[in-house]
Amino acid sequence: MLSTVFQGMGSLCSRHRHYNEGDTEENAQAAEIERRIAQETKAEKHIQKLLLLGAGESGKSTIFKQIKLLFQTGFDEAELRSYISVIYANVYQTIKILHDGSKEFAQSESDSLKYVLSPENKDIGEKLSAIGGRLDHPRLTKELAHEIETLWKDSAIQETYSRGNELQVPDCAHYFMENLQRLSDVNYVPTKEDVLYARVRTTGVVEIQFSPVGENKKSGEVYRLFDVGGQRNERRKWIHLFEGVTAVIFCAAISEYDQMLFEDESKNRMMETKELFDWVLKQPCFEKTSFMLFLNKFDIFEKKVLNVPLNVCDWFKDYQPVSTGKQEIEHAYEFVKKKFEELYFQSTGPDRVDRVFKIYRTTALDQKLVKKTFKLVDETLRRRNLLEAGLL
Ligand SMILES: Nc1nc2c(ncn2[C@@H]2O[C@H](COP(=O)(O)OP(=O)(O)O)[C@@H](O)[C@H]2O)c(=O)[nH]1
Ligand SMILES: [Mg+2]
CATH number at residue 68: 3.40.50.300
- Closest listed ligand to the CA of 228: 2
Q: What does the DSSP 8-state code read for residue 260?
A: B
- Ligand 1 atom with least separation from CA of 172: 23
Kindly report the protein residue whose alpha carbon is nearest to atom 22 of ligand 1.
199
Q: What is the pLDDT of residues 94-119, one digit of tens each?
A: 999 999 999 999 998 888 899 999 99
Measured CA to CA in angstroms, residue 294 lies from 225, 248, 281 at distances of: 15, 10, 15
Which residues have a Cβ under 8 Å from the Cβ of 281 and sit 6 or more positions away? 291, 343, 344, 347, 348
Given a cut of 60, whether residue 230 has pLDDT beyond it is yes
Residues 152 and 225 both lie in one domain: no
Collapse the DSSP code of 294 into the 3-class scheme (helix H, G, I; strand E, B; otherwise coil) and give the result: strand
Query: What is the reported pTM?
Result: 0.87
Residues 103 and 119 both lie in one domain: yes
The catalytic residue among 147, 154, 194, 227 is 227
Least confident of 297-301, 348-352, 378-382: 348-352
- Closest listed ligand to the CA of 55: 1
Number of structural domains found in the chain: 2
Given a cut of 50, whether residue 6 has pLDDT beyond it is no
Domain ranges, residue 338:
50-76+202-380
Whose CA is closest to 338, among 323, 355, 319, 353?
319
Q: Span 224-242, mean pLDDT? A: 91
**H or E stretch at 361:** strand 357-361
Residues 110 and 153 both lie in one domain: yes
Q: Best substitution site from 51, 52, 53, 57 to test ligand 1's pocket, by max atoms within 8 Å of Cβ?
A: 57
Q: How far apart are CA 116 and CA 159, in angstroms?
A: 10
Question: Using 50, 70 and 90 to split pLDDT, how confident is the model at 22?
Answer: low
Within a domain: residue 10?
no
Given a cut of 60, whether residue 54 has pLDDT beyond it is yes
Question: Using 50, 70 and 90 to split pLDDT, how confident is the model at 387?
Answer: confident
- Which among 180, 197, 214 is the end of a domain? 197
Question: Using 50, 70 and 90 to split pLDDT, how confident is the model at 30?
Answer: confident
Collapse the DSSP code of 47 into the 3-class scheme (helix H, G, I; strand E, B; otherwise coil) and give the result: strand
Kindly report the protein residue whose alpha carbon is nearest to atom 8 of ligand 1.
59
The pLDDT assigned to 389 comes to: 79
The pLDDT assigned to 16 comes to: 34
Question: Residue 137 maps to which CATH number?
Answer: 1.10.400.10
Within a domain: residue 21?
no
Residues 130 and 253 both lie in one domain: no
Quote the Cα angle for 2-3-6, to 5°. 90
Within a domain: residue 131?
yes
The catalytic residue among 154, 159, 194, 199 is 199
Question: Using 50, 70 and 90 to split pLDDT, how confident is the model at 15?
Answer: very low
Residues 145 and 97 both lie in one domain: yes
Q: Taken in order 78, 79, 85, 90, is the CA torsion positive or negative?
A: negative
Q: What is the pLDDT of residues 286-308, one digit of tens each?
A: 999 999 999 999 999 999 999 99
> Percent of the chain scored above 70 by pLDDT?
90
Within a domain: residue 45?
no
Q: How far apart are CA 334 and CA 22, in angstroms?
A: 70
Question: Using 50, 70 and 90 to split pLDDT, how confident is the model at 212?
Answer: confident
Q: What is the pLDDT of residues 306-342, one digit of tens each?
A: 999 999 999 999 999 998 899 999 999 999 999 999 9
- Which among 172, 197, 222 is the end of a domain? 197
Parallel/antiparallel/unpaired status of strands 357-361 and 290-296: parallel
Catalytic residue check, 76: no
Q: Span 182-206, mean pLDDT? A: 96
- Ligand 1 atom with least separation from CA of 300: 1
Residues 113 and 60 both lie in one domain: no
Whose CA is closest to 149, among 171, 133, 166, 125?
125
The pLDDT assigned to 312 comes to: 96
Contact 309, 321 (CB under 8 A): yes
Q: What is the largest CA-CA distance in the chain?
A: 87
Residues 188 and 261 both lie in one domain: no
Residues 232 and 369 both lie in one domain: yes
Tally of residues, the chain: 392
Collapse the DSSP code of 137 into the 3-class scheme (helix H, G, I; strand E, B; otherwise coil) and give the result: coil
Catalytic residue check, 231: yes
**H or E stretch at 117:** none
Tally Cβ neighbours within 10 Å of residue 327. 10
307, amino acid identity: N
The region that residue 243 occupies, defined by phi over 0 for left and psi between -120 and 50 for alpha, beta otherwise, is beta
Catalytic residue check, 207: no
Q: Span 262-271, mean pLDDT? A: 94
Q: Span 190-216, mean pLDDT? A: 88
Given a cut of 80, whether residue 218 has pLDDT beyond it is no
Range among 213-217, 227-231, 368-372 with highest mean pLDDT value: 368-372
> What distance in angstroms lies between residue 296's CA and the mean position of ligand 1's atoms?
9
Residues 222 and 244 both lie in one domain: yes
Kindly report the protein residue whose alpha carbon is nearest to atom 25 of ligand 1.
197
- Ligand 1 atom with least separation from CA of 56: 19
Whose CA is closest to 374, among 247, 197, 205?
247
The catalytic residue among 150, 168, 231, 348 is 231
**H or E stretch at 145:** helix 142-153
Q: How far apart are CA 145 and CA 182, in angstroms?
A: 9
The pLDDT assigned to 251 comes to: 98
Residues 211 and 118 both lie in one domain: no
Contact 220, 213 (CB under 8 A): yes
Q: What is the pLDDT of residues 136-172, one digit of tens each?
A: 999 999 999 999 999 999 999 999 999 999 999 999 9
- Which among 197, 217, 243 is the end of a domain? 197
- Ligand 1 atom with least separation from CA of 296: 27
**H or E stretch at 224:** strand 222-228
Within a domain: residue 316?
yes
Contact 130, 123 (CB under 8 A): no
Residues 279 and 372 both lie in one domain: yes
Residues 112 and 169 both lie in one domain: yes
Which residues have a Cβ under 8 Å from the Cβ of 181 and sit 6 or more positions away? 142, 145, 149
The per-residue pLDDT of the chain, averaged, comes to 89
Kindly report the protein residue whose alpha carbon is nearest to atom 12 of ligand 1.
57
Q: What share of the chain is helix, strand, coil (3-state, %, to 5)?
A: 55, 10, 30
The pLDDT assigned to 43 comes to: 63
Q: What residues line ligand 1, using a CB cutoff of 6 Å?
A: 54, 56-62, 170-172, 196-197, 199, 202, 230, 251, 296-297, 299-300, 363-365
Within a domain: residue 366?
yes
Q: Span 201-212, mean pLDDT? A: 91
